Structure formats: structure tokens, C-alpha cells
Amino acid sequence: MKLRFSVAGLAAIAIVAGACSSGATAAPSGAAGGGIALLLPSVDAARYEAADRPDFEAKIKELCPTVAYAYNNAGGVAATQQQQAEAAITNGAKVLVLDAQDGDAAGKIVTDAAAKGIKVISYDRLIKGGSKPDYYISFDNESVGKLQGTALLAKLTANGKAMAKVVWINGSPKDNNALLFAKGAHSALDGKVTIVPSETAMANWKPEEAQQLMEAAITSLGKDGFDAVYVANDGGAGGAYAAMKSNGVDVTTKPMTGQDAELSAVQRILLGQQYMDVYKAIKPEAEAAATLACALATGKTPDAALVNSKVNNGTIDVPSVLLVPIAITADGANGTKSIQDSVVADKFYGADSVAKICDAKVDAGLTAACAKFGVK
């Protein structure tokens, strides 16, 4: 796989589309500063191509349009990400913005980069593996899990379910975030629910992995043998939903969690097929990364006010930017925000967010659901 930098701006961005993609134009002599490479992990969650990438690119185009830029998506394979990072370094990157497919394995990328004076921003997921990333930008991920657990418990309590039986599906153990989501959810649910038949995890955050895990849970418990589903993200919730549907489970009676406010998940929430979501506004996250990357690439000292925290990665305290996640439900009950006051207010799916959410072609019930929950 070859990857070369081209001058940033739309021309470069247009060239480097898709997983394992490669740019093709050599950096012209007029390019100012070292190159920036954005390395995203997968397409298993919609956010990466729908939000992280375009939001990041828009900001660097605004802040440092003459800096060379390249983009790669590892398609869920850590070895691919390793090659993409090596190629970026060979081709002149001075700043890597790296969302690690495997947080320990990516430590080698950081250590190799540091030896060449290249800065690494650990984007969304904390990079470990004995490494010293320059910055970490993410949400408060333990809080994400706590929001999920708290909202699920409130719903089960409102439904009169004490010690509810919860099928539990975590994210990939290779992702430090998944460990934090689980920790936060446990802090809210331990001692108050029963995990059935046992706690599981998607090996690689793939929706089909969650689907298989949910299938296995239904086989073991029977379709009425559980009260709720804790699942770490919306991709996984989509998989669990598919398994419940194909087994004839009445999903409206099984509150389920999620994360990422994916369009399909927000539609499930309006239709009563998923209880809650954790909305993480990707734009401020991607923009903070772009702001830091542009400063580092042009030899400026990043604005100290941006860096509001420190997070230990097992080796050092990494200067960090941590953003606040928000729990959302259809109606904003139980201390959550409503869909209208969160993703709609923020136009999270673009200027036509309402039309996209309430699209009756996706599900005929969405028109009535949007009216019922004031989505407009």
C-alpha cells in the first residue's frame, strides 16, 4: 500500500477516499509545515466516515490549509493500521492523529514516531503499550458507561423490575474505551441487576459479533428469559436488535442501551426498539484534534486552555482534552436529554437532520413517532 502526501485542502481530501485508501499527489514545494495524517480504525461504527473524518478535514482546511494531509481507515485490522502509519511516516508526516484499532499494539507506532520527532495525538482511544503519546483527545468514557447503566436502571425501576435479568455485551477488549464503558456501566448496575447468562464482549466491535452473542443468549435463556440488554454501542445494539427480531422477541419490552447516536439507533429509539443512547458530539472532538494537529504541524505551541486534563496510559500522564457525553432518550425522561434537544438541536446528521430521522421510507412508523416526541 502506498500513501503519499498532497497539499491539504479539498483536492487532497478527495483523492484519499475509502478504507486502505492512498493519496497520490506528491507534496508541492509550497506546502507549509510537516504533514498531518489522520488514521481511523474501522467502518464498523458509522461515526468515522460520517463525522470524525469530515469534521476533522473541515477544521484543518480552515486552520492550516497549506499543510500536507493524508487520510487512512484501517478497516478494523491492526496490522493494516500499522502499515498505514509507517507509510505516513515515510511520506513525511510530522503529526499522526491516531485512533488505534488495538490500543496496546499501537504503542509501537507511537514509539517509532517519537524516535523520528513525529508527534502523535491519541484520538478517541487511549494508546498504551509502553508508549508516550503527546496528547489524548476523547470523551469521559467511564461516564459514558455510567450514563448507560444509570438510564437502563431507571427504566427498569420505572417498569417495576427489581434485580432485572440483563444480557450484557461489551465492546472490544483491545480498545481501552471498551474497558472504561464496562467499568462505568458496572458502577451503576452492580448489585442491582443479574447478568444473564454471562458477560460477553464483541471481539472487534462488529455488529455481527453482537448479533451472534445475542443469538447465543436467546438460545440459552429462551426468548422471555431476560428483561434488558446492555450493549456498549449502537453498532452492537443493531446486531442485538436483529437477533431479537429474528427470534420473535418483543423488543419493545426489552430496554436496550447504545452509544454514538447513529441515525438508525435514534430511529429505533423513537420506535421503542432501543431505550437510550449516549450522544457524543463528534464535532468538538474532531475539531480539538485538528486544532492541536495544525499547531503541532506548524511549530506553534498548542493553546493551553484546550488541554483540560491528564490521563495515565500506564507509562505517562498524557495531556488530555476530555469532552462530556450526554444520555439521550425519546422523551428526555430520567435525567436524559430528548432527541429533539440533542441530535436535532445540533443538526448532528446535517441540515436535513429531521427529514433523515423521520424518513417514513425507512419505517412507516417514524412519522407518528416523530410527531409523538416533538421531533421537528
Q: Which residues bind ligand BGC (CB under 6 A)?
A: 42, 44-45, 47, 124-125, 171, 175, 177, 205, 233, 259-260
Residue among 91 and 148 whose Cβ is closer to ligand BGC:
148
Task: Output the smallest distance, CB 154 to ligand BGC, in A.
Answer: 22
Beta-carbon contacts of 134 under 8 Å, excluding residues fewer than 6 positions away, are 119, 120, 121, 296, 318, 319
Residue among 12 and 214 whose Cβ is closer to ligand BGC:
214
Given the DSSP bridges, would you call strands 119-123 and 93-98 parallel, antiparallel or unpaired?
Answer: parallel
Would you say 184 and 145 are in contact if contact means Cβ atoms under 8 Å apart?
A: yes
Residue with cell 425519546: 330
Residue among 12 and 202 whose Cβ is closer to ligand BGC:
202
| Cα–Cα dist 33/94, whole Å | 8
Would you say 260 and 46 are in contact if contact means Cβ atoms under 8 Å apart?
A: yes
Which residues on adjacent β-strands are paired with residue 257? Answer: none
Return the number of other C-beta atoms located less than 10 Å from residue 17's C-beta.
Answer: 12
Task: Output the smallest distance, CB 56 to ligand BGC, in A.
Answer: 15
Which residues on adjacent β-strands are paired with residue 37? Answer: 70, 96
Task: Output the smallest distance, CB 76 to ligand BGC, in A.
Answer: 9
Nearest partner of 374 among 351, 358, 350, 352, judged by Cα: 358
Given the DSSP bridges, would you call strands 309-312 and 317-323 parallel, antiparallel or unpaired?
Answer: antiparallel
Which residues on adjacent β-strands are paired with residue 376? Answer: none
Sheet containing strand 309-312, strands side by side: 6-7, 68-73, 35-40, 93-98, 119-123, 135-139, 317-323, 309-312
Beta-carbon contacts of 224 under 8 Å, excluding residues fewer than 6 positions away, are none
Would you say 2 and 58 are in contact if contact means Cβ atoms under 8 Å apart?
A: no
Task: Output the smallest distance, CB 181 to ligand BGC, in A.
Answer: 8
Task: Output the smallest distance, CB 177 to ligand BGC, in A.
Answer: 4
Task: Output the smallest distance, CB 363 to ligand BGC, in A.
Answer: 23
Would you say 229 and 169 are in contact if contact means Cβ atoms under 8 Å apart?
A: yes
Residue among 34 and 129 whose Cβ is closer to ligand BGC:
129
Residue among 123 and 226 whose Cβ is closer to ligand BGC:
123
Task: Output the smallest distance, CB 135 to ligand BGC, in A.
Answer: 16
| Cell output for 137 | 483527545
Nearest partner of 251 among 259, 243, 260, 262, judged by Cα: 243
Task: Output the smallest distance, CB 171 to ligand BGC, in A.
Answer: 6
Residue among 51 and 67 whose Cβ is closer to ligand BGC:
51
Residue among 140 and 227 whose Cβ is closer to ligand BGC:
140
- Amino acid occupying residue 159: N
Residue among 69 and 139 whose Cβ is closer to ligand BGC:
139
Residue among 233 and 291 whose Cβ is closer to ligand BGC:
233
Residue among 12 and 151 whose Cβ is closer to ligand BGC:
151
Return the number of other C-beta atoms located less than 10 Å from residue 299's C-beta.
Answer: 10
Task: Output the smallest distance, CB 151 to ligand BGC, in A.
Answer: 17
Residue with cell 489522520: 38
Peptide bond before residue 325 is cis, with ω within 30 degrees of 0:
no
Task: Output the smallest distance, CB 59 to ligand BGC, in A.
Answer: 19
